[in-house]
Structures are given as C-alpha cells and as structure tokens.
Structure 1
C-alpha cells in the first residue's frame, strides 16, 4: 500500500539533516530508474496479483521525490538539477507551445503509419500510411468525449514524456532484434523552440501503451483486422 507524500515526509524525511535528505533523494531516483527498467525490459510480464503495480509505484515514487526535494530546500540545501532533470523541466515548460505532434510507428515491410495532431486554437488530427491520409478522431476514453486542446495537452502531460530517454533499444538489455517495430515521436513548437524527438527500435518507454491510447491505437483491434 502506498502512502501520501505528506505521510512519506512525516515518516521518512521530517527531522533529517540535509545530508540525510540528499541521500533519500538519491535512493528515490534509483528506485524510479529500477521500476522503469523493469517495465521496459523485453522480459517484463506484469503480475496481475502484485499490488501496487510498478506503474503505480512509479507515480508515487515521483511524488515522494518532489516532496523530498522541497524538504531539502527547506532545510537550507540548494538543489541542482541533473542534465536529465533539466531536459524534463525544459520539455514541461514548453508544453503549451506545442503546435504539432507526429507519432510514427511500423516496420520495413508493412510501412510506417503516422498519427499527426496539429494544435492551434483547436485540434486537427489525421493518419498517414504511404500516400493515404485519413481523419483521426481523438477520444478521451476516461470521460467518454472528444478531446479538446486543453484536455489533450493535459492528458499528454500526464505521460511525463519529458522523463523519457531520447532513444530506446533492446541492446540496453543485451538483446539484438532485426526488423520488428520502430517508432518515432516528434514535437514541434510555435515559440522558436527546436523540435524534440524520441524514438525506439523494438523497445519502448514504460507507459508507451498509454501514448498509443492517446492516439486511438488499439492493438486488439489491429490484430482482429489482420
């Protein structure tokens, strides 16, 4: 059972020195990395009876980490962002300036389908496969309604994409896979920020399925269509 960030603070942080809090922050970062590596491994199989799930544990560990950082500053420490944290802050700070998202996924033989979302005052979404272009309906399945600009950006923020690696490969886990599935996710901005890209070769972020759901990709339906 996970506890609230304030309960975590009361039990594990309150009354600690700056050095002890810094050590707790380091431990939480390591735990976040371990959980993500577990879910991103090609050998990962989610155990339905495990509570909390790794995904839930990642969520709460992130909350504990932010509370520990705050406590560190309150204790007189100066928290310096790592390079990876700087990338997260930069990505999050520019979320409202995203004007186009292109998500491409597929393989050499079947081609790559692109899911494109253009963001202005409204959303314009469509898919492209070879030369075929089709409109794409973006549905907020949690609320059973069509996404608006604000709800789509909010759902995007909930994925914490800024925390993702820029590139994913099975070689990280000692595997070599030929062909298979490749993907790329690109963000373009209207404020002069250079495009940000993420990609993978048969390897994916821990919450990749949630990204696909955001674009209306249902693997079950695709299998049935085949």
Structure 2
C-alpha cells in the first residue's frame, strides 16, 4: 500500500536539512528510472506482477518527488533542473502549440498504418494505410464519450511524453530482433518549435499501451495489422 505525498513528507522529509532532502530527491529519481526500465524490458509481464504494481508505484513516486522538491524549496534550497527535466519542461510548455500528431507503426510485409491528429481547428483525426485514408473517431474510454481538443490534450499531458527517449531498441536490453514492428511518432508545432520525433524498433515506452488507447488502438488490432 502506498502512502500519500503528505504521509511521505511526514515520514521521510519533515525536519530534514536541504542536503538530506536533496539526497531523498536523488533516490526518488533513481527509483522512477528503475521502474520505467523494468516496465520497458522485453521480459516485463512474463512473470507475476507484484502489488502494488510498477505502474502504481511510479505514479506515487512521482507525487513524492514533487512533494520533496517543494520541501527542498521550503528548506531554502534552489532546485536546478536536470537535462531530462529541462526536456520535459520544454515539451510541456509547448504542448498547447502542437499542430499535428502523426503516429505510424507496422512492418515490412503488412505496411505502415498512420494515425494522424490535426489540432489547428478543433480535433480532426484519420488513419492512413498505403493510399487509403479513413476518418477516425477518438474516444475517451474512461468517460465513454468522444474526445474534445481539450480533453485529448489533457490525456496526452498525463502520459509524460516529454520523458520518453528519442529512440527505443531491444539492443538496450541485450536483444536483437529482426523484422517485427517499427513505430514512429512526430509532433509538429504552430509556434516555430522544431518537430519532436520519437521512434522504436520492437521496443516501447513504459506507458505505450496507454498512448495507443488515445487512438483507439489495442493489442488485438496490432496483431491483425501484422
């Protein structure tokens, strides 16, 4: 069972010096990295998942980290963003300027299906496979209603995509996979920000399934396309 952020503060941070709090911050950041690496491993899910799950622990560790940063400031510290945190802050600061999202995945034999979301005037989505283009209805599964531009962007924000690596590969875990599934994600902006591109080869971010659900994609559909 996970404790609340205030419970974490009372148990681990209250009365500590800023140096001690910074040590806790480093530990929380390491734990977040460890949890994401565990969930991104090709072997993840092959064994029984412990409770609370890595996903739950990741959520609450993020909350503890934010509370620890607050405590650090209250103790007189000035927090300096890491390179990763600067990248996250940049992505989040420009999220409202996203003009177009293109998400493509597939393989050599089955072709590559693209899911395109245009945000210049409301919310328009469609899919493309080879030369065929079809409209796409984006549904908020939790609320069981169509996404609006605002609710879609809020769901996108919750995925912490700014933390994602620029490239995902099984080689990171000592695996080499031939063929299989490749994917690419591109964000284009209306404010002059350079496009953000992320891609992968049979390897995915820890919350990739949640991302796919924004487009109504599930594993069954992927299997059919392959």
TM-score relative to the length of structure 1: 0.96
Find the residue that maps to 1:73 and give its secondary structure.
Answer: helix
RMSD: 1.5
CA distance in 2, matches of 1:157, 1:47: 30
Change in CA separation of 1:222 and 1:88 when aligned onto 2, cut-off 3 Å: closer
Q: Cα distance 1:6–1:220, how it changes in 2: closer, same or farther (>3 A)? A: same
Question: What runs of 5+ residues in structure 1 fail to find an aligned partner?
Answer: none
Paired residues in the alignment total 226
CA shift, 1:216, in A, is 0.7
* Paired position in structure 1 for 2:22: 22
CA distance in 2, matches of 1:205, 1:211: 9
Which stretch of the first structure deviates more once superposed, 180-189 or 212-221?
212-221
Residue of structure 1 equivalent to 2:204: 204
Q: Deviations over 1:123-173 (max 9, x none)?
A: 110001111111111011111111000000011011111111111111110
Deviates more, 1:215-224 or 1:5-14: 215-224
SS in 2 for 1:115: strand
The offset of 1:212, in angstroms, is 0.7
Structure 1 counterpart of 2:162: 162
Q: Which residue of 2 aligns with 1:95?
A: 95
Which secondary structure does the structure 1 equivalent of 2:177 belong to?
A: coil
What pairs up with 1:57-136 in 2 under 5 angstroms?
Answer: 57-136=57-136
SS, match of residue 106 in structure 1: strand
Gaps of 5+ in 2: none
Q: State the SS of the aligned residue for 1:91.
A: helix
Shift of 1:224: 6.2
How far 1:50 sits from its partner (Å)?
Answer: 2.4
Q: TM-score, normalised by structure 2?
A: 0.96
2: distance between equivalents of 1:48 and 1:143?
Answer: 30
Match of 1:4 in 2: 4
